[in-house]
Structure 1
Amino acid sequence: MATIEDVAKEAGVSPSTVSRALSRPDMVSQDTRDRILAIAHQLGYQAIQQARQVKQQAATPIALLVTDLENPFYATLAKGVQAVADQHGCNVLLYDTEEDELKEERFLKLALQQKIQGLLIVPTRGTLTHLREMGDLPVVELDCASGFSGVGQVQAENVRGTVLAIDHLISLGHRRIAFIGGPPEMSSTTERLEGYQQALALAGLPRDPRWVTYGYGLESGANEVTRKLMSLPKDARPTAVFVGNSDMMIGTLSALQDLKLKVPGDVSLVGFDDPPWAKVMNPPLTVVAQSPYEMGRVACGILMQNLQREFVLPPLNIRLPTQLIVRGSTDRAR
């Protein structure tokens, strides 16, 4: 019995194009659909009769995997994805991997069973391996990159955003500036570290290895490393700290409060991300803002473009702009 792969090989297209020709004929050209239908009939592909009965307006399923739905960043990102998917008549299957590689693997298998036509994913440590099993499924990564070639990517300008933050602290006279990053193997962390190092180098400032720490994206992790930073000898203790995401910022603020250190009187803080609570803190937080809604919207738009073509477009690497918003958590070094 012929399979969808047999039809695709004979027609010189991908299996996903065959699937779209049968279930969403509006997404392929008439010539291509006619050729696929003829080959399917010739090979005796039995799904053809059922596919002809599928209504053109039937929703196309796509999957979105994020790493933490409790984080407002990813909830807002999902809203951006949904807005574009709705415009194109697509159903979004949403999964929260919680940074767990095994959950990601299981959810990807579940999504494939649901016959998804495309995948949007915030990578975990296991994504590079898992994507090798996705075949020619159109994929776009968001927020960071797994290192898998041939997939689209939509990320923030991590290097430039961090340079803006560190330059701001340097302009206030800070010379001992610490870095608290997320998981060190994630591309967003390595890029923000690169921005930190670039800014210090351009200013001719020393880079003390004790000032580069990792909270692994967690409130508890940032709390722990903040305490270690503040326990350094007075002449080596940072007067300013760059914190790599909003969850870790909570941990850093909590540690400083426990240590009776004032922001910005004793320590200036800059965070990467602008969660809703940042501007109502006392003091309001200086941040590098990015737009998770726009990230989701742009990524889903790229995926829709691929689904509407017979062949997947060359992978795009889109960088969205960041903005330094100066509020009350930074002040001149004392």
Structure 2
Amino acid sequence: MPSATGAAVPPRDTALAGAPELAVRRRERPGAPGAPVVLVHGLGGTLEEWEPLAALLAARHPVYSLDLRGHGRSGDADPTLAGCAADVARVVDHFGLRRPVVVGHELGGVVALVCAARRADVAAVVNLGGFGRPDPAVVAEHLGMAPDQAAVHAAAVHRFTVEQTAELFAPMPAATFERALDACRGDPLGLPGAVLAATARRAAATADQLVFPRPGTRAVRALFAELAERDPLDLAERVAAPVLTLAAADPPPPMPGAPARFADIVAAHTAHALARSRPGSRVGAVAGTRVPHLGRPEAVAELIEEFLAGAEPPRRR
């Protein structure tokens, strides 16, 4: 991917010693005019998922992606939002990043907000889909349901999401894992198969002909439980730094066993997230994909650059 100077910015992998050890990938072009950008993956992801976007942003910014604790090639530690935010802070401090922009996907978006709430030096946050669990009141309002009916539907969607995600990170035979990698390489749902396969491979620990996808079911359930107790949208309104909230405009694909009105509830939740903005912050929807930074990296890079060009410095609290 060409940089502003016409040459690709090569990635360099680094291991940050500490508890836990953190795997970091960085792209640093001397004289890059933009603010440093830290990329934070979602639950069960790795830094590999950022490769399409990182290569684009590196034209103007020093770019750093990391494997959160318990993910990819980073070490294990308590799976908490505070701990994940501390991982991001360690990257910022280790590399001496001044006024960083923190970009996160889903879990990573919430982690970015937590980090910005704790550090006055975060210049801006980009939250891609870190919206928390469906709110029954939002479901009732958007879909015209009675409150008790909305609560049942919202709970079913949340439970289904947790169980489906946890199942993905249960141990499996090595042959089953390899078949899953082959499916990834087929560019499922229009997403880059090579990137998906690299992410899955990086997240895999093997022993005795079994594959243990990280972070594992226990950590998945723990993080979902903590996320269920937070309102990321409320947190975004209280963060001092400007926030760009991005969502996929397309409905989720059909999923076997999904609860009734699954797609409608996801759409209502997304619409509510995009409606909650404040002065100095922006929202946007990316069409043509369910995972914007993977399916439409050029569009996401453009939205981020436009946002940063107009973002005001963070207010002192």
Q: Please say whether Structure 1 and Structure 2 have the same fold, judged by a TM-score greater than 0.5.
A: no
Shorter-chain TM-score bucket reads 0.3 to 0.5
TM-score by length of 2: 0.37
Between structure 1 and structure 2, the one with the greater Rg is: 1
